[in-house]
Amino acid sequence: MDTVDIKWNEQMSFTVDVDGHSCVIDAKGESGGLDEGPRPKPLLLSALGGCTAMDVISILKKMRVKLDSFNVLVEGELTDQHPKHYHTIIIKYMLTGQNINPEKVKKAVKLSEESYCGVSHVLKQAIEIQTKIYINEVIIA
């Protein structure tokens, strides 16, 4: 079982302890915070992006795909009504390198999204998740 400990600091600031690592979450000034850390909803996007990024890079290494760089951008579109939540999430996989096989990349992303990433599995039950793959700045999927 994973456990996260969240301790109130002051105003809207909290220290979050995850696996022995700490970070501060906070609200913006207009919401009573001091803007000393990220908001919780974008951290949900980072959990999704981190989960799938680790999967994809691991799979690509096993496929012996050589990369110069790998980046995952995750964008969340919020509803206008309260409780505001993400109705759509767009994951952009961005890879650079020489002779990258697009089919291997598509397969790695599909394996992550359908078989390995637990965060994706949970979120796609309630949120539309879209995927875009770029190799050397050219969209391939």
Share of the chain above pLDDT 90, in %: 100
Shared domain for 26 and 47, answered yes or no, is no
Q: How many CA atoms lie within 13 A of 52 on its CB side?
A: 33
Shared domain for 20 and 75, answered yes or no, is no
CB neighbourhood size of 98 (10 A): 8
Residue 94 and residue 131 in contact, taking contact as beta carbons nearer than 8 Å: no
Mean pLDDT in residue range 113-138: 97
CATH number, position 135: 3.30.300.20
Model confidence band, residue 30 (pLDDT cutoffs 50, 70, 90): very high
Model confidence over 53-84: pLDDT tens digits? 999 999 999 999 999 999 999 999 999 999 99
Shared domain for 80 and 107, answered yes or no, is yes
Bridge partners, residue 92, by sequence: 73, 132
Kind of pairing, strands 13-18 and 128-135? Answer: unpaired
Q: Which residue has the tokens 């002051």?
A: 10
Query: Which of 109-113's residues contact partners 24+ apart within 8 Å by CB, and which partners?
Result: 109/52, 109/56, 109/133, 109/141, 111/55, 111/59, 112/51, 112/52, 112/55, 112/56, 112/59, 113/52
Mean pLDDT in residue range 21-34: 96
Range of the domain at 31: 1-38
Shared domain for 86 and 115, answered yes or no, is yes
Shared domain for 92 and 61, answered yes or no, is yes
Shared domain for 75 and 99, answered yes or no, is yes
Q: Which residue has the tokens 């690509």?
A: 60
Model confidence over 82-113: pLDDT tens digits? 999 999 999 999 999 999 999 999 999 999 99
pTM assigned to the model: 0.94
Q: Which amino acid is at 51?
A: C
**What is the pLDDT, as a whole number, of residue 70?**
98
Q: How many domains is the chain partitioned into structurally? A: 2
